Amino acid sequence: MKKVYIIIFICIAGWIAVSNPFVNKFLTLKRETVLPAVKESDPLYQSIIKNAHTYEIPAKDATIDKVWKAIPGYNGLMVDITASYKNMKKKGIFDEKKLVYTETKPKVHLEDLPPAPIYKGHPDKPMVTFIINVAWGNEYLSEILAVLKRHNVTASFFLEGNWVKNNPDLAKMIVSSGHEVGNHSYSHPDMKKLTAERAREQMVKTNEIIEAATGEKCVWFAPPSGSYRDETIKVADELNMKTVMWTVDTIDWRKPSPDALISRVMSKIDKGSMVLMHPTESTAKSLDRLITQIKQKNLEIGTVSELMSEQRVKQ
């Protein structure tokens, strides 16, 4: 009879121990201290540690280039040893395709640089952007937006303030289609010839009109015709906007044929390129084929904000 009581007592005690959260925590900690020892003695784990550095990519700091001016930074890649080990443990052999990475941030960011124009994204980032300056060309906007939607592409539209004032519904349509909007001055003046005070008036007025019409706050400024002086860049920076230019110009205002426009862009486009466009017939007729050919070069197309982001493009 005593044996029966003892067995029952052991069973109850065991059940209480397993159900007790403090005991569970102790057992978990015990497992976690034992497992690393087993893992670290595994040749596979040691192999991952040994080879990790050959697959890692250092982060690239944002910098001021002599030619291209402000260049954004780009995240690096570091091998996650534990996650990679778990990914390979089942087969027990090292497989570089099963390495797991985490992104590492650069030490210097675009925001850390002194005010300077931006002509391109980071040259290692396989992404480009379309900068579409809008002060006219309403009749081609719907077609351009339809092509972008069909290809699931987002672009950055830089809107003239006076244009937005007269076409608030079109401005809303651009934003509701998922695109980014930026500041393109109020009345399309030569910013290089304006005093700092006049330049500020142009930018502030446009920001207010765009926000009133679309609800969006501008963080990018594109000077009309690419004309600016250092003071222009500083004024934009004081208004929390960075100034963007372009890497490749479609020169679509000259009314090139679709073949000529596409040839011009494709001969110059590369990682980090910023392609300048306007809502013209040439761009509207070229855009479908242009997007297809850019994607065939394994380049993604995103907004200026996406291109300037330090986040890596997953390929």
Statement to judge: residues 127 and 148 lie in one domain: yes
Domain C-terminal end among 55, 86, 112: 112
pLDDT in tens, 144-157: 999 999 999 999 99
Half-sphere exposure for 231 (CA within 13 Å, toward CB): 10
Statement to judge: residues 148 and 248 lie in one domain: yes
Domain C-terminal end among 76, 91, 112: 112
pTM of the entire predicted model: 0.86
Q: What is the dihedral of CA 176, 181, 184, 185, to 10 degrees?
A: 80
Statement to judge: residues 156 and 103 lie in one domain: no
- What CATH code is carried by the domain that includes residue 231? 3.20.20.370
pLDDT confidence band for 3 (50 / 70 / 90): very low
Confidence at residue 37, expressed as pLDDT on a 0 to 100 scale: 54
28: which residues sit within 8 A by CB, 6+ positions away? none
Domain C-terminal end among 112, 143, 166: 112
Domain interval for residue 70: 43-112
pLDDT confidence band for 40 (50 / 70 / 90): confident
Statement to judge: residues 185 and 47 lie in one domain: no
Confirm whether 37 is domain-assigned.
Answer: no
Statement to judge: residues 68 and 212 lie in one domain: no
Confirm whether 2 is domain-assigned.
Answer: no
Confidence at residue 11, expressed as pLDDT on a 0 to 100 scale: 43
Confirm whether 4 is domain-assigned.
Answer: no
For helices 43-55 and 21-40, give the axis angle rounded to 10 degrees: 70
Mean pLDDT (the chain) is 91
State mean pLDDT over 64-79.
Answer: 97
pLDDT in tens, 160-210: 999 999 999 999 999 999 999 999 999 999 999 999 999 999 999 999 999
Statement to judge: residues 121 and 211 lie in one domain: yes
